[in-house]
């Protein structure tokens, strides 16, 4: 199956996006030095990266941080792909909003209007058999947590500078 067909198949529904953004938020909150949650804007960046296989493939635990992730595109001479993150944020904004809306509706995330942060809810029990995410979606969730961990080490302006994105 081609990359484009696979991308469309997996990301055709905001349900997957809501799960992945919930995992991103958990990764950020769990690893932030002060336990803060990510501001809403960071979810748009995460969604832009995680909805593209070539951008999400380098998101692995072997990398040290977000700077290492950014340098990996220079090393592979794939700078054009890396610079496309800014345009992907714009192209995926409605999908990301739908995913966030769905996550809030189903109790995965909570938006605090005072600070503009999304807070993850902790599930009281594991999904029942047949309701758990497929392995491919779990793998994306793991990548989302890693990305959240990397984002938590930087301020919003530092993240946008490292990713060459204007917020």
Which of 45-54, 74-83, 126-135 shows the lowest per-residue confidence on average (mean pLDDT)? 126-135
pLDDT in tens, 87-103: 999 999 999 999 999 99
In a domain, 124, yes or no: yes
Question: Taking 60 as the threshold, does the pLDDT of residue 128 lie above it?
Answer: no
Cβ atoms 152, 32 nearer than 8 A:
yes
Angle CA 156–157–162, to nearest 5: 100
**What is the number of structural domains in the chain?**
1
Structure confidence by residue, pLDDT tens digits, 53-89: 999 999 998 889 999 999 999 877 888 999 999 999 9
The β-bridge partners of 112 are: 117
pTM: 0.88
pLDDT band with cut points at 50, 70 and 90 for residue 123: confident
**Are 133 and 19 within 8 A, CB to CB?**
yes
Question: pLDDT at position 137, please?
Answer: 82
Q: What is the extent of the structural domain holding 91?
A: 3-162
- Residue 154 within any structural domain of the chain: yes
What pLDDT shows up at residue 83?
A: 92
The reply to whether 167 falls in a domain is no
Using an 8 Å Cβ cutoff, are 104 and 25 in contact?
no
What tokens were used for 70?
A: 């950014």
């Amino acid at each position: 199956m081609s990359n484009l067909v696979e991308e469309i198949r997996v990301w055709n529904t905001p349900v997957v996006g809501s799960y992945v953004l919930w995992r991103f938020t958990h990764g950020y909150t769990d690893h932030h030095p002060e336990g803060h949650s990510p501001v809403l804007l960071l979810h748009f960046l995460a969604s832009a990266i995680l909805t593209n296989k070539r951008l999400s493939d380098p998101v692995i635990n072997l990398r040290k941080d977000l700077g290492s992730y950014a340098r990996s595109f220079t090393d592979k001479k794939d700078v054009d792909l890396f610079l496309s993150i800014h345009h992907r944020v714009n192209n995926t904004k409605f999908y990301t909003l739908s995913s966030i809306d769905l996550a809030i509706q189903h109790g995965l995330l909570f938006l605090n209007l005072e600070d503009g942060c999304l807070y993850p809810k902790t599930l009281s029990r594991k999904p029942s058999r047949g309701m758990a995410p497929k392995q491919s979606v779990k793998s994306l969730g793991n990548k989302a947590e890693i990305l959240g961990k990397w984002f938590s080490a930087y301020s919003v302006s530092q993240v946008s500078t490292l990713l060459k994105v204007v917020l």
